[in-house]
């Protein structure tokens, strides 16, 4: 790219269609119109991110900009099947809460965003075009609050993209998860669907003093879908945000997680795995802001890429001057199963404190022929041997998911993936 | 029985095996001794089916079936087992899972019923006990963090569980102290019987004090240059390879 192109103000792409939808829907959308109007102005000015934005260098949203998305139909007869819920389950179809398919949690207070439409300060439209788009068009979402000292156990948040309409649908759920002091919860997000759609959720997470949220995301959207998720988590003193994302589905996916450790002794785990093939594009982008001393952040991100798939990892660790004794660790590894697969890895450390321990590393490799041969000499057929080695590669990340039901959900999805891979 | 006839093989167009003729009758243990670079490891890899080696001629049959051209896993299901000189580490793969997957894959290929987790563990624990190995051997990842001796013992454990009919031991003695060597040898000897044959490949005679072979063959320059009884190993130890290779040339 030459200097002149770089200097030119980026043209807003993909804004018009969404702004037109907003003009039509504005009066019907819940909540504060001035907040939505401001978000719309912000989105009008910037449009969808483009590869000229440094943060979007490796992920191209032109395929999203090229489609005309409509709001989903009010389909009450959508046919979907879910396995029986082990506990609390909140089901959203095309971004709308479906009480009939849900089982409300005992330990946490739940309200659909449509009935309590409040935009909090964590996710700011002016800071992020996708948050602007979400704020402008958000219709529903999960507002979940765990009171002080309560362990809410496992809560499932299921999103289903119903597809099957004449126009591809776009939905922009707005979720807010709040854990009171010393509260605990495992939030298992399962994201599935059929056909072409855009799922653009924004979630804000507040972890109060001594609270712990395990947030496991199983992104298994339709292979034709676009998934652009943005999560903001604020972690108070002694709190833990223990995040894990598995990106398995979607034609194009970006999981962007921003965490801010604003109290001493907090912990942020942003672990992930991406298992992609065909022409899938998966992007895990993280920002960990260490604002307070004695906090730890951990990231183990594994990519398994087949076909012409492309995996992106961008991880930024920011350590403020006050954040002494920060312990930051980041590891990104890729296993390429095909010569046409590609991985891009961009670690970034911005450190303003002098007494910190921060490390990062990245590796790329293929399956080890010695390991394959060893397994085969023991009688394990090649396909099975490859599957074992891929699982072993992912294992280091998957073992970080401690809740058995959440782990089982991830294992099940990976097994199904492998069955398709070898079919 | 294993019958190798005029076997030639190269790696990267460089001939390594230059016409091997060898027969290991059923129930017998034969040793192959030879200096470094004589083709010992190449022979074991070729028999196990490693792709980096190109077989340029000859044949190797086991019970009348041609091995060359079979996939490594097919050879394994037939009962051929290669004990590696350098056993491979498999991080993230538990030993128990590894062994059960391998055993069941072989049983499936032979049309036998698979073992469930309970049946397998019962059998594996019994073998561990017999070999005086600790139970945690099953819990650890395959060869990861194992000492040299532990890796070789793990090869013996695999042999005990998979019950091959032909074991090829590629310098199993290298890097072992005398205690580990004895344990490995005992493990192999325990498998000896009318339905078990072995090809013990070694540089040194000392392993053959513990696994006494029926026959000893000397490999030099890619050919078997001499064959004889167990006493040949002692002769080699006394005279060295250079002498014998020169005599054969």
What is the number of domains present in chain A?
Answer: 2
Please report, for residues A70, A159, A216, the alpha-carbon distance to residue A403 in angstroms, rounded to integers and kept in the order given. 37, 20, 9
8 A C-beta contact, residue A280 and residue A223: yes
Preferred mutation among B79, B88, B114 to probe A, highest tally of A CBs within 10 A = B88
Q: In sequence order, what E strands does A73-150 have? A: 88-93, 96-97, 109-112, 142-146
List, for residues B146-205, the tens digit of each pLDDT value.
Answer: 998 899 999 999 999 999 999 999 998 888 888 888 888 998 999 999 999 999 999 888
* pLDDT tens digit sequence for A220-262: 999 999 999 999 999 999 999 999 999 999 999 999 999 999 9
Q: Cα–Cα distance between B110 and B116 in angstroms, integer?
A: 17
What is the C-alpha to C-alpha distance for residues A227 and A243, in angstroms, rounded to an integer?
Answer: 18
Interface contact A28, partner B, CB < 8 A:
no
Taking Cα atoms as reference points, which of A67, A94, A63, A71 lies closest to residue A158? Answer: A94
Do A256 and A385 belong together in one domain?
no
Helices in chain B by DSSP H: which ranges? 40-48, 72-78, 95-109, 117-130, 148-162, 178-191, 207-210, 231-239, 241-248
For the four alpha carbons of A103, A109, A115 and A120, in that order, the dihedral sign comes to negative
Q: Give the closest of A377, A382, A388 to B48, CB-based.
A: A377
- Give phi and psi for A232, each to the nearest 5: -120, 125
Question: What's the confidence (pLDDT) of residue B248?
Answer: 58
Residues of A in contact with B50 (CB under 8 A): 373
Domain boundaries, position A177: 3-263
Q: With an 8 Å Cβ cutoff, are B76 and A373 in contact?
A: no
Same domain, yes or no: A233 and A372: no
CA distance B141 to chain A (A): 10
> Could you read off the pLDDT of B36-91 as tens digits, one per residue?
889 999 999 999 999 999 999 999 999 999 999 999 999 999 999 999 999 999 99
Chain B residues within an 8 Å CB radius of A368: 88
User: pLDDT averaged over chain B?
Assistant: 93
Cβ(B176)–Cβ(B149) under 8 Å? yes
Nearest to A378 among B50, B76, B91 (CB): B76
| Residue B105: closest CA among B39, B162, B189, B153 | B162
pLDDT at residue A4, as a whole number: 44
Determine, for residues A388 and B101 on separate chains, whether the beta-carbon distance falls below 8 Å. Answer: yes
**Which DSSP string corresponds to B26-69?**
TT-EEEEE--TTSSHHHHHHHHHT-TTSEEEEEEEEETTEE-TT
pLDDT at A78 over 80: no
Nearest CA to CA, how far is B88 from chain A (Å)?
6
User: Is residue A301, in this structure, part of any structural domain at all?
Assistant: no
- What local confidence, expressed as pLDDT, does residue B178 receive? 87
Model pLDDT, residue B199: 97
Q: Looking only at Cα atoms, what is the longest distance across chain B?
A: 57
β-partners of residue A243 are A215, A270
Which of A263, A286, A313 is the endpoint of a domain?
Answer: A263
Which token pair is A419? 């069955």
Asked if residue A270 is part of any domain, the answer here is: no
CB-nearest partner of A392 from B48, B93, B109? B93
Query: Do B50 and A373 make contact, defined as CB atoms within 8 angstroms?
Result: yes
- The closest alpha carbon to B82, from B158, B16, B2, belongs to B158
The angle subtended at Cα B83 by Cα B79 and Cα B84, nearest 5°, is 140
Distance from CA of B165 to the nearest CA of A (A): 13
Size of interface A-B (CB pairs under 8 A): 75
Residue A343's DSSP bridge partners are A311
The predicted-structure confidence for B205-248, as pLDDT tens digits, reads as follows 889 999 999 999 999 999 999 999 999 988 888 888 777 666 65
Cβ of B51 within 8 Å of Cβ of A373? The answer is: yes
Residue that finishes a domain, picked among A237, A263, A289:
A263
Q: Report the chain A residue with the minimal C-alpha distance to residue B168.
A: A377
Nearest of A220, A218, A61 to residue A128 by alpha carbon: A61
Backbone angles phi, psi at A252, to 5 degrees: -140, 130
Q: Is residue A389 part of a domain?
A: yes
**pLDDT surpassing 70 at residue A164:** no
For B92, the closest of A373, A385, A396 (CB atoms) is A396
Put simply, the answer to whether B158 touches A388 (Cβ < 8 Å) is no
Contact B92 A392 (CB under 8 A): yes
Sort out which chain B residues have CB atoms less than 8 A from A397's CB and list them.
none
- Given CB atoms, is A373 within the 8 Å cutoff of chain B? yes
pLDDT band at A5 (very low <50, low <70, confident <90, very high): very low
pLDDT tens by residue, A92-122 = 999 999 999 999 999 999 999 999 999 999 9
The minimum CA-CA distance between B95 and chain A, rounded to whole Å, is 12
Residues on chain B bordering chain A, Cβ-to-Cβ distance under 8 angstroms:
48-51, 71-73, 75-77, 81-82, 84, 87-88, 90-93, 98, 101-103, 105-106, 109, 158, 162
> Same domain for A52 and A188?
yes
Cβ(A385)–Cβ(A260) under 8 Å?
no
Q: Are B64 and B232 in contact (CB under 8 A)?
A: no
- Chain B within 8 Å of A116 (Cβ-Cβ)? no
Helix (H, G, I), strand (E, B) or coil at A150: coil
- Residue A48 is given by DSSP the state B
Two tokens, residue B223: 């050919």
Calculate how close chain B gets to A399, using CA atoms only, in Å: 10
On chain B, the residues whose CB falls within 8 A of the CB of A379 are: 73, 76-77, 102-103, 105-106, 109, 162
% of chain B with per-residue pLDDT over 70 = 98
Fold exhibited by the domain B11-19+38-179+191-224:
Rossmann fold (3.40.50)
CA dihedral sign of residues B127, B132, B137, B143: negative
B91 class by beta-carbon count within 10 Å (0-12 exposed, 13-18 middle, 19+ buried): middle
Answer whether A375 sits within 8 Å of B81, measured CB to CB. Answer: no
Residues B20-26, mean pLDDT to the nearest whole number: 96
Question: Is there a domain that residue A326 lies in?
Answer: no
Distances, alpha carbon A362 to alpha carbons A28, A286, A297, A335, A401, in Å: 48, 15, 17, 11, 21
Q: How does pLDDT run across B174-184, given as a tens digit for each residue? A: 888 888 888 88
Residue pair A243/A271 in contact by the 8 Å Cβ criterion: yes
Question: B109 to chain A: which residues are within 8 Å by CB?
Answer: 379
Q: ipTM for the complex?
A: 0.96
Label residue B194 exposed, middle or buried (CB < 10 Å: 0-12, 13-18, 19+): exposed
- The gap from C-alpha A25 to its chain's centroid, in whole angstroms, comes to 27
pLDDT in tens, A17-28: 999 999 999 999
- A370 in contact with B, Cβ within 8 Å: yes
Of A197, A228, A263, the position where a domain reaches its end is A263
Each residue of A98-131: b (16+ CB within 10 Å) or e?
Answer: beebbbebebbebbbbbeebebeebbebeebbbb
Closest CA to B80 of B158, B19, B147, B10: B158
List the structure tokens of A271.
Answer: 């672990």
Assess whether A250 and A388 both reside in one domain: no
The answer to whether B102 contacts A391, with C-beta atoms less than 8 Å apart, is: no
CB pair distance less than 8 Å for A374 and B88: yes
Contact list, B87 vs chain A (CB under 8 Å): 374
Interface test with A, best of B53, B89, B101 (most A CBs within 10 A): B101
Asked if the Cβ–Cβ distance from B92 to A380 is below 8 Å, we say no
Whether residues B73 and A396 touch (CB distance < 8 A) is answered with: no
Residue with tokens 């190995």, as numbered in its chain: B133
A32 touches chain B (CB under 8 A): no
Looking at the structure, do residues A252 and A387 belong to the same domain, yes or no? no
- The reply to whether A253 and A104 lie within a common domain is yes
Q: Of A195, A250, A244, A245, which is closest to residue A227 (Cα–Cα)?
A: A250
B105/A389 CB distance under 8 A: no
Q: What is the mean pLDDT of residues A162-181?
A: 91
Distance between CA atoms of residues B245 and B236, nearest Å: 10
A72 within 8 A of A171, measured Cβ to Cβ: yes
Residue A300 lies in a domain: no
Which of A380, A382, A396 has its CB closest to that of B101?
Answer: A380
* B126: DSSP letter: H
CA distance A182 to A211: 4
Q: Say what the pLDDT of residue B120 is.
A: 97
CA-based nearest residue in chain B for residue A394: B92
The residue of chain A nearest to residue B88, with distances taken between CA atoms, is: A371
- What distance in Å separates the CA atoms of residue B142 and residue B97, rounded to the nearest whole number? 9
Residue contact A371–B88, C-beta within 8 A: yes
d(CA A294, CA A320): 12
């Amino acid at each position: 790219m030459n200097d002149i192109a770089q200097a030119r103000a980026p043209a807003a792409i993909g804004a018009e269609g969404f702004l037109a939808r907003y003009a039509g829907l504005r009066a019907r959308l819940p909540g504060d119109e001035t907040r939505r109007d401001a978000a719309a102005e912000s989105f009008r000015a910037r449009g969808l991110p483009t590869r000229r934005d440094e943060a979007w260098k490796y992920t191209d949203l032109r395929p999203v900009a090229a489609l005309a998305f409509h709001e989903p139909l009010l389909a009450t007869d959508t046919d979907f099947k879910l396995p029986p819920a082990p506990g609390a389950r909140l089901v959203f179809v095309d971004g709308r809460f479906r009480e009939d398919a849900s089982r409300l949690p005992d330990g946490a207070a739940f309200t659909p965003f449509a009935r309590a439409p409040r935009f909090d300060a964590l996710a700011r439209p002016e800071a992020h075009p996708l948050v602007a788009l979400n704020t402008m068009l958000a219709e529903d979402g999960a507002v979940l609050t765990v009171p002080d000292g309560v362990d809410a156990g496992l809560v499932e948040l299921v999103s289903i993209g119903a597809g099957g309409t004449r126009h591809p649908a776009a939905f922009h759920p707005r979720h807010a998860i709040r854990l009171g002091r010393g509260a605990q919860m495992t939030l298992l997000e399962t994201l599935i669907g059929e056909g072409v759609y855009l799922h653009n959720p924004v979630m804000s997470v507040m972890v109060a003093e001594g609270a712990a949220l395990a947030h496991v995301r199983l992104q298994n959207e339709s292979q034709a879908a676009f998934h652009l998720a943005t999560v903001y988590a604020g972690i108070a003193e002694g709190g833990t945000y223990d995040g894990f994302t598995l990106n398995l589905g979607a034609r194009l996916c970006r999981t962007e997680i921003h965490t801010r450790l604003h109290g001493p002794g907090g912990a942020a785990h942003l672990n992930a795995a991406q298992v992609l093939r065909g022409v899938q594009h998966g992007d895990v982008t993280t920002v960990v802001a260490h604002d307070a001393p004695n906090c730890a952040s951990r990231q183990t991100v594994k990519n398994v890429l087949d076909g012409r798939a492309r995996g992106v990892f961008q991880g930024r660790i920011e350590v403020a001057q006050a954040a002494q004794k920060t312990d930051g660790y980041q590891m990104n590894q890729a296993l390429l199963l095909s010569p046409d697969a590609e991985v891009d890895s961009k670690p970034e450390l911005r450190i303003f404190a002098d007494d910190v321990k921060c490390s990062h590393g990245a590796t790329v490799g293929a399956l080890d022929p010695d390991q394959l041969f060893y397994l085969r000499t023991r009688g394990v057929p090649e396909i099975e041997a490859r599957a074992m080695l891929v699982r072993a590669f992912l294992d280091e990340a998957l073992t970080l998911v401690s809740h058995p039901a959440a782990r089982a959900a991830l294992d099940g999805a990976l097994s199904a993936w492998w069955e398709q891979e070898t079919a | 029985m294993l019958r190798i006839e005029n076997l030639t093989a190269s790696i990267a167009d460089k001939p390594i095996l230059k016409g091997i003729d060898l027969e290991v009758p059923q129930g017998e243990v034969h040793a192959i001794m030879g200096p470094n670079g004589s083709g010992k490891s190449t022979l074991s890899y070729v028999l196990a089916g490693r792709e980096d080696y190109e077989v340029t001629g000859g044949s190797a049959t086991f019970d009348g079936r041609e091995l060359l051209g079979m996939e490594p896993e097919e050879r394994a299901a037939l009962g051929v087992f290669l004990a590696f000189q350098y056993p491979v580490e498999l991080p993230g793969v538990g030993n128990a899972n590894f062994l059960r997957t391998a055993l069941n894959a072989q049983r499936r290929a032979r049309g036998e019923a698979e073992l469930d987790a309970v049946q397998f563990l019962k059998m594996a624990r019994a073998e561990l006990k017999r070999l005086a190995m600790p139970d945690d051997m099953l819990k650890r990842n395959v060869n990861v963090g194992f000492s040299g001796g532990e890796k070789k013992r793990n090869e013996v454990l695999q042999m005990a569980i998979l019950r091959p009919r032909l074991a090829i031991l590629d310098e199993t003695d290298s890097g072992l102290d005398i205690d580990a060597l004895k344990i490995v040898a005992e493990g192999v000897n325990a498998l000896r019987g009318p339905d078990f044959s072995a090809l013990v490949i070694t540089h040194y005679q000392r392993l053959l004090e513990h696994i006494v072979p029926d026959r000893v063959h000397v490999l030099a320059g890619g050919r078997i240059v001499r064959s004889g009884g167990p006493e040949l190993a002692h002769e080699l130890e006394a005279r060295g390879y250079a002498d014998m290779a020169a005599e054969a040339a």
